[in-house]
Amino acid sequence: MAAYGRDLGRPDALKHLLERLLPLPGLKWLRLLYLYPSGLTEDLLAFLAGAGRPFLPYFDIPFQHVHPEILAAMARPKAAGADAVVERVRRYFPEAAIRSTVIVGLPGERANHFQALLDFVRRARLQHLGVFPLQPRGRHPGRDHARPGTPRTSRRAGPRPSWPPSGK
């Protein structure tokens, strides 16, 4: 969603679209879904912070993973670290609801990669988290490196950690 219009060479297209949508009569609320971390810029967040109602500070950010080696293997866009993105959102919207999805089971994912993901999830205080074992589909850039997660890696992503983390 945050990349709206960039394929047409219009980096501010989402902001312009929102400028037209937000004042629509009868629009009670507007929330943006599937915002890649690289698109949550200071400029966009400052705009949204000034927008007021009907914008709702609910951010669906598909981090997919947090370890740079895994993100590179998945051919995901480079962005600031996940912690920096969450901090940036919370700086503009301290009350923001943040949800995310992560993918586990990429070939080459080691215990330290998985631990980095678990540590991030605990620090980020997400309101919702979806965890999915890798399921290569279609023609995405990481497909050549991907194969379905083994039962072991999929189980590893299962009930651990309990959610919400104890003591939070």
Residues 34-69 have pLDDT tens digits of: 998 988 999 999 999 999 999 999 999 999 999 999
Please give the pLDDT value at position 106.
86
Give percent above pLDDT 70 in the chain: 78
Please give the pLDDT value at position 163.
37
What Cα–Cα distance (Å) separates residue 70 from each residue in 13, 45, 119, 121, 143? 30, 27, 15, 16, 13
52 contacts: CB under 8 Å, gap ≥ 6:
none
Gap between the Cα atoms of 34 and 37, Å rounded: 9
Please give the pLDDT value at position 11.
79
Pair of tokens at residue 164 = 């919400």
- The partner residues of 104 in beta bridges, in order of sequence, read 133
Please give the pLDDT value at position 80.
67
Is the separation of the CB atoms in 101 and 37 below 8 Å?
Answer: no
- Answering whether pTM is above 0.85, one says no
Pair of tokens at residue 16 = 């312009």
Low-confidence ranges of the chain (pLDDT < 50): 146-168
CA-wise closest residue to 161 among 94, 108, 102, 88: 102
